Amino acid sequence: MAPEFEEIMERVSYKIKNHMEDYEITKSSVFHSITLTLILVTAFFIRLVALMQGWDPLIKAFDPHMQVRAGEYILEHGLFNFLLWHDSLSWYPYGRAMGTSMYLAVPIAMVLVFKIITFFGFSITLEFAAYLTPVIFGTIGVYFTYLFAKELISKRAGLFAAIIMVVSPAYLSRSIAGFTDNESVGVLFTIMTFYFFVRALTRDSNRSAIFAGLSLAMLGGSWGAFRFAYDLLPVFALVMVISGNYSTRLLKVYTVTISVATMIMITIPRIGGSFLLETEGIAPVAFIAFLVLFGLMQHISEILNPAAFRRFIVYSFAAIVLVLGGIFLALLLTGIVQGIGDKFISVLLPASRNSLPLIDSVSEHLPLAWGNLYSNLSILVFFMPLGVYYAMKKPTEKNVFIATFGVTTILFSGSMVRLMLLLAPAAALLSALAIDALLKPYALAGHGRIKLTKRTMSKKSIGSGDAARAYFTVFLLLIIMLSSGVTTAVDRFSQPELTPGRNPNEAYTDWPDAFEWMQRETSYYDHTSENDFKGYENNIAAPVMLSWWDYGYYITAKGDTITLADNATSNSTQIASVGAMLMYNESMALPLMYKYNVDYVMVVPAGGYTGLGSDLGKAIWMIRIAEQYAKEYRVNADHYYDEDTNSYVDKFYDSVLFRLMAYHAPDMTAEAAERPPFADSNTQLAPDLRANQVDSLDFFTEVFRSIGVATETQRYDYPIIRIFKVNYPADIDLRVNVFNEWIQMNLQADAIAAANEDA
């Protein structure tokens, strides 16, 4: 037995030694690993810069507050009950089916982060876990960018791409601490989808194709922009076919990825089976049939002679286009297949936004300006064209994907600034490809592996000194981008919107003060139990707060108060009604407010500064949306706003919104009475401020006014937030009847006018 045992041990020892030789550690691998580790550590902590500066760990922006509220519901009631949750605090009087209208990934992610951290014995709140969630997923996104670039280009390019993603303002803005929204996890899943897809294609790996499908499904459950990734894959496949790079590998990988993703996505409540009846949903699935038919034609080409094959191709292609095109057109005209969504149309055709004010009212939906492009990409604007050049110069499978990904995101982000977020990883790849291609000759020459003659360069050869200078030049350029990114993180992204200010010691507490007042005076939970709530039929006593939709998530998530509209913008007609209430004069607005049981109205004069989110700058969208989506209210933009001078006129100064913002209460300082109700910088937007001083209100009483104090010595006369109680007159029922008759008359007139146009 002993000799046999010794023989076995020798074989095991031999295998171990040979196995370890495959993992021989070199100086370059150690340096590479250390560099990657430092990049990831930097990515993590730069996203926590606000906390390190001393700012409170507050959730940023508007939408993330609803994500936290959803996470709290999941943590308390479970995921299954969340799917059945009908939120009674928003979109009064209808409410909102939260479980089927929200993307689930972010609230689930924050709950998982909370569970993991508390499992290790740390005591934190769910809100703090939500605060950390984008930091964690953003750092993982940097790592997958490294893997992606490494798979497509080289290990060196992987490091370059990772460094770029660490400080890319477009990506940093959506993965900074506190920005716990769909994009914070959606970008990661986008990169994972493309990484596994390319890995599956280049390595002919079924497992990677399945992972690509799973990643795409997770993207579908986290972010509405999943349609970009879902539709980019067939675009890439089509480019491969046109460029002569079709293969059975492409057919297999594409089919597995799309099939796995689609089968899972149609089970996600937010998407559902109806997605397959949308243009964006049916196209990638139908493209599987196209690839199969193309493969069959290639096979037939090997049997037929060239002349017969050409005739076969022409007739077959014409027949396929006519049949499939006819079927699709018939389905589209009958309404079985839905057309392209408004947001996607606004990306493809930016001019169409003039007729879509609800979409155009969001600043992130505006076309990209050159200055915005440079501020988000820095020196990458010079590397990206080179990356496209190198990718198209050698159209391999990998380079075709880089070019397709890069060019489409450049075009889309130029149409809508929000899509700069998708351009960030594409820009990192293109720039990494360009840098890698530029440095490769120097790297090889520095190691003595190539020698360039006078025919190609003025020097006989490139030495290590030349390589060092080339690397140092690129290093300086990356340092410029790194410093720009850090400065952006500190100056633009660290400041919480809820407590703006120049530094943590001079932060404004207006919003927290307003939330505290709402929780004390208008809280839903002080009037009824949500579990016992049966509906709004009995005109419940819980107060309803009217405000512009921007603040809906704030009010419901932080103030526990019922709102008419929020940032989901899911009901354009209701948003138009809100706009009409705020644009009508006091007397005319009362009947419409009464129909919605409005008790309080919140306005945001923002201390007179549009940079702090003043409703003065948003009023034009209230006007346009009311005019577009609720024509029966007869809000005519020409009566409120002069397009030629870009300023408010006439009726605007008599609107509820303006009067509540500009109201000079008796207890306000004498200095305020001597100046217009808004900062002098706004006089171009509202030139008649001084001529429209508001000293009294007919039907509103101010009940809350934020003090606007950042320091002991600094104070704004006009606050950031004001809340007013509505005082309905005794004859309100009569006013409502008259208003309803007027609306019915308008509707009838519109119906007659539409019928005449059709005739």
Residue 650: other Cβ atoms inside 10 A: 12
Alpha-carbon gap, residue 476 to 684, rounded angstroms: 43
Tell me the residue length of the chain: 759
pTM: 0.85
Does any domain span residue 600? yes
Inform me whether the pLDDT recorded for 570 exceeds 70. Answer: yes
- List, in sequence order, every residue forming a beta bridge with 545; answer none if it has no partner: 563, 600
Tell which residue, 383, 425, 370, 376, has the closest CA to residue 401.
425
β-partners of residue 694 are 663
For 389, residues 6+ apart whose C-beta sits below 8 A from its C-beta are: 434
Q: Which of 311-315, 511-515, 609-613, 662-666 has the lowest mean pLDDT?
A: 311-315
Is the pLDDT at 385 greater than 80? The verdict is yes
pLDDT beyond 70 at 279? yes
Residue 238, domain member (yes or no)? no
Residue 571 lies in a domain: yes
Q: Average per-residue pLDDT in the chain?
A: 82
Residue numbers of the domain that contains 579: 504-732
- Cβ(103)–Cβ(92) below 8 Å: no
Label the pairing between strands 647-648 and 641-642.
antiparallel
Lowest mean pLDDT among 116-125, 460-469, 470-479: 460-469
Q: Nearest CA to 175 among 48, 72, 39?
A: 48
User: Which one is predicted more confidently, 313 or 749?
Assistant: 749
What is the distance of C-alpha 528 from the center of its chain?
A: 35
Q: Does residue 588 belong to any structural domain of this protein? A: yes
Is 282 a member of any domain?
no
Mean pLDDT of 85-97: 90
Higher pLDDT among residues 538 and 363, named by residue: 363
Question: Which range (322-331, 384-393, 682-691) has the least confidence?
Answer: 322-331
What value does the CA radius of gyration of the chain take, rounded to a whole number of Å? 30
- 115: amino acid identity, one letter: K
**H or E element at residue 705:** strand 700-705
What are the start-end ranges of the E strands in 611-671?
641-642, 647-648
Instruction: Say which CATH number the domain at 560 has.
Output: 3.40.50.12610
Q: What is the C-alpha separation between 404 and 418, in angstroms, rounded?
A: 19
Q: Give me 638's structure tokens.
A: 């020409």
Per-residue b or e along 466-486, where b marks 16 or more CB atoms closer than 10 Å to that residue's CB: bbeebeeebeebbeebbebbb
Residue-level pLDDT at 71 = 95
Q: Average pLDDT in the 551-577 region? A: 92
- Give the pLDDT score at 27: 73
Nearest to 162 by CA among 246, 56, 43, 277: 43
Across residues 397-414, what is the average pLDDT?
88
Q: Where are the alpha helices (DSSP H) in 153-205?
A: 155-167, 169-175, 182-203
Pairing of strands 86-87, 96-97: antiparallel
Distance CA(589)–CA(582), nearest Å, equals 7
Question: Bridge partners of 338?
Answer: 278
Q: Indicate if the pLDDT at residue 167 is higher than 70.
A: yes
Residue 398 lies in a domain: no
Q: Is residue 674 part of a domain?
A: yes
Q: Each residue of 112-121: pLDDT tens digit? A: 999 999 999 9
Question: What is the predicted pLDDT for the residue at 676?
Answer: 57
417: left (phi over 0), alpha (psi -120 to 50) or beta: alpha
Q: What is the mean pLDDT of residues 340-345?
A: 56
Name which residue leads in pLDDT, 421 or 288.
Answer: 288
Residue with the larger pLDDT of the pair 167 and 27:
167
Q: What is the pLDDT of residues 218-232, one digit of tens each?
A: 999 999 889 889 999
Provide the pLDDT for residue 347.
53
Average pLDDT, integer, range 628-655: 92
**pLDDT at position 22:** 52
Strands 562-563 and 544-546: parallel
Q: Give 3-state DSSP helix, strand, coil % of the chain, rounded to 5.
A: 65, 5, 30
Q: Can you state the angle between helices 226-242 and 206-220, rounded to 10 degrees?
A: 140
The model's pLDDT over 148-164, given as tens digits with 9 standing for 90+, comes to: 999 999 998 999 999 99
d(Cα 203, Cα 609) in Å, to the nearest integer? Answer: 57
- 539: Cβ–Cβ under 8 A, 6 or more apart, which residues? 597
Q: Which of 114, 82, 115 is nearest to 101 (CA)?
A: 82
Q: Determine what percent of the chain is predicted with pLDDT higher than 90.
A: 47
pLDDT above 90 (res 25): no
The backbone region for 669, taken as left when phi is positive above 0, alpha when psi lies in -120 to 50, beta otherwise, is: beta
374 band by pLDDT with thresholds 50, 70 and 90: low
CA atoms within 13 A of residue 306's CA, in its CB half-sphere: 0
310-314, 431-435, 475-479, range with the lowest pLDDT:
310-314
Per-residue pLDDT, 354: 54
**35-74: per-residue pLDDT in tens?**
999 999 999 999 998 888 888 898 988 889 999 999 999 9
Residue 636's pLDDT band, with cuts at 50, 70 and 90, is: very high
Distances (CA, A) of 273 to 264, 278, 478: 10, 10, 46
d(CA 95, CA 562): 9
pLDDT for residue 6:
63
Residue 754 lies in a domain: no
What pLDDT was estimated at residue 545? 96
More confident site: 716 or 655 = 655
pLDDT of 707-744, one tens digit each?
765 555 455 556 889 999 999 999 999 999 999 999 99
- pLDDT category at 536 given cuts 50, 70, 90 is very low
Residue 102 has pLDDT above 70, yes or no: yes
pLDDT of residue 665 exceeding 80, the answer is yes
DSSP E strand stretches across 47-152: 86-87, 96-97
Count how many domains the chain has.
Answer: 1
